Structure 1
């Protein structure tokens, strides 16, 4: 389904700068804080919320490298981002002085020197469960980690092993996924729902998450940011399928309880692996924006900007008419957020999260 709406994922890097900066802080101060904590780069794993175009290189229908996607990106250019413009990761990278757009690792036009600023290995339609990715022929986490190993080799060749190891050790690992595991894999396909109850599947996903994090740690990760699953029942597509005017409470409860399990396991990993981690409560941020749009400068949060806004996403959004002002919408299509929503998530993350990942 390529739904990957764990929107807050990449914004999580801003946690690193808490509580030292606010959005009003001078850009130079932001960069000084990043330098103070030796933040070297951002390495991203997950789904379409953080995929800047890796799926462009795959034989899959889960792509967005065509208009109207990218309508408000630089030069109105579609890149494979499932939005009208930039992702949260792009804004963060620019704020701390890296680049205006985090590159997709599989982008053939990416220069080796740019890898020093980080890269995204994410793949739209992926999830904690490898089966989720396999259903859409995209990159499962296991493959994303394999490409990360290639990334490390590139760094070794570029700056030498010692500096490469230091880069990885001081990098921020951002993980954002889980939405497709439920919407595409569990509720749409018959395989997992026959094997697990909802709670059993939640536990299975958490166990997969733990194994992935252990592998990242083995490969050098020491700083980890995990984004919770958003309120699934508030997606325009879900509400259309459920014939509901408001957010579906059952789906939201599944997301909320899963997030609780994630946090419990993170607390254990923090002690057993000695990693520094932060959790981003994407659920609350998005739910608040949907419930109180005027407080965020939004007008429309019940449907997307593309087409009817109720069912279109990915290929079904190709060539469709769009709303005049996407900045008034929370959703770009029936699943994914607008560039404005990514900015809102970033701002809300800064306001609501008090703990810093690095101190």
Structure 2
């Protein structure tokens, strides 16, 4: 009985991505039927600004995106704390599942009972696998995000009872997306880790941290996990500017590729030891495809962001600045973060071979 359920999960995810790659409403209905059949209604999210819908708004930190022009293309054009002009990839996944059009931050005091059932994000912008990364910016490290998962479980048990709460957790899709800040805000700036590790040793350290996090999530009820790799660091407008190059800074891109490869290898090991179902999404490959083939996605600007000059501004330095006329033509919203359109493309353009391999493996 276990094997069919494992395949059903991956088929559901394959169906999700297939549905997202078409605008046909019939495809969306199909994935929602698959999700309902396999009880996939809840998404629980951990990570950094790539998946933080605004948790940083609710505690003291300078890392916030709850002001214009962030949120320019979000519903009602309001900033939420998302570091983009609109929705994030996890929002689009939730919509395709029929859960919600936007995953709320767990720390939002207006969080509803329905939100608890459909999914929340515990992510915190500027966080990372390395606890030091979060401490540098005063944001939520992974262990605190997992502490909030415990709070979530308490609320869920009160709402639906212990047995059903555990069933919801086991059927939920846990998404973890982070790692960028470990390099850009930590290793390459703060002297602590670079004095302790070579870049490859630090990658191994981060993969070990990730592995420990996944094991703890498994202990707390996670059975279905999606791990998102890091993007091409060397193609970020900020990195290009600081490196003084018009093209992508290949040294950093090589770091991204190698790190993602290490993540994928460790996930294979964890599937074997824990029996947890995992899918790896290669954000590096997806974004590089958009940069190298922008016309494929209806884009024209791949080297700078939409906010301000598009070369150095992000976070506070983007506050109140003018923006480009059409963000959908841009890969990057600010000098670090993708546009809503790019996040949607990441969701649309998942490498089918990865998913197919997962089906064979499970």
Q: Taking structure 1 as the reference length, what is the TM-score of the superposition?
A: 0.93
> In structure 2, the residue corresponding to 1:279 is in which secondary structure?
strand
Distance verdict in 2 for CA 1:352–1:296, change over 3 Å: farther
Q: Deviations over 1:315-356 (max 9, x none)?
A: 000000000111100100000011110111111116564428
Matched position secondary structure for 1:44? strand
> Which residue of structure 2 aligns with residue 227 of structure 1?
228
Q: 1:216 — aligned with what?
A: 217
- Classify the secondary structure of the residue corresponding to 1:70: coil
Tell me if structure 2 keeps the 8 A contact 1:16–1:357: no
Root-mean-square deviation (Å): 1.6
Structure-1 residue corresponding to 2:333: 332
Is 1:342 equivalent to 2:338 in the alignment? no
1:299 match: 300
Equivalent residue for 2:14, pick from 15, 18, 25: 18
Distance 1:15 1:207, change over 3 A: farther
Distance in 1, matches of 2:50 and 2:173, equals 17
Aligned length: 347
1:136 equivalenced with 2:132 (yes/no): no
Which residue of structure 2 aligns with residue 5 of structure 1? none
Between the aligned partners of 1:192 and 1:64, the Cα distance in structure 2 is 27
Q: What does residue range 244-263 of structure 1 map to in structure 2 within 5 Å?
A: 244-263=245-264
- Note closer, same or farther for the CA distance 1:235–1:137 as it changes in structure 2 (3 Å cut): same
Unaligned runs of 5+ in 1: 1-12
Cα separation, 1, equivalents of 2:84 and 2:135: 23
Say whether the 8 Å CA contact 1:64–1:79 is kept in structure 2: yes
Q: Does the residue aligned with 1:124 lie in a helix, a strand or coil?
A: coil
1:14–1:92 Cα contact (<8 Å) kept: no
Deviation sequence 1:21-61 (CA, Å, 0-9, x none): 43335222121011122213000000001000000012111
Alignment of 1:304-323 (within 5 A): 304-323=305-324
8 Å CA contact retained: 2:52, 2:122: yes
2:107 aligned residue: 106
Q: Are the structure 2 counterparts of residues 69 and 191 from structure 1 closer, same or farther at C-alpha, using a change threshold of 3 Å?
A: same
- Structure 2 residue matching 1:212: 3-state secondary structure: helix
Q: Distance in 2 between matches of 1:137 and 1:235?
A: 23
Alignment of 1:1-359 (within 5 A): 16-19=12-15, 21-22=18-19, 23-24=21-22, 25=24, 26=26, 27-349=28-350, 353-355=354-356
Q: 1:117 to 1:111 in 2, by over 3 A?
A: same
Structure 1 residue matching 2:227: 3-state secondary structure: strand
**Contact 1:305-1:326 at 8 Å conserved across structures:** yes
Shift of 1:276: 0.7
Secondary structure of 1:174's partner? strand
Q: 1:135-166: per-residue Cα shift (whole Å, max 9, x none)?
A: 00000000000000000000000000010000
Residue deviations 1:150-201 (CA, integer Å, cap 9, x gap) = 0000000000001000000101010100000011100011111111111111
Following TM superposition, by how much is the alpha carbon of 1:283 offset from its aligned partner in structure 2, in angstroms? Answer: 0.8
Higher RCO, 1 vs 2 (CA within 8 Å, ≥6 residues apart): 1
Please state whether the residue corresponding to 1:119 is helix, strand or coil: strand
- TM (norm. structure 2) is 0.93
Between 1:32-41 and 1:71-80, the stretch displaced more is: 32-41
Shift of residue 14, structure 1, vs aligned partner? 9.2
SS at match of 2:279: strand
> Alignment partner of 1:330: what SS?
strand
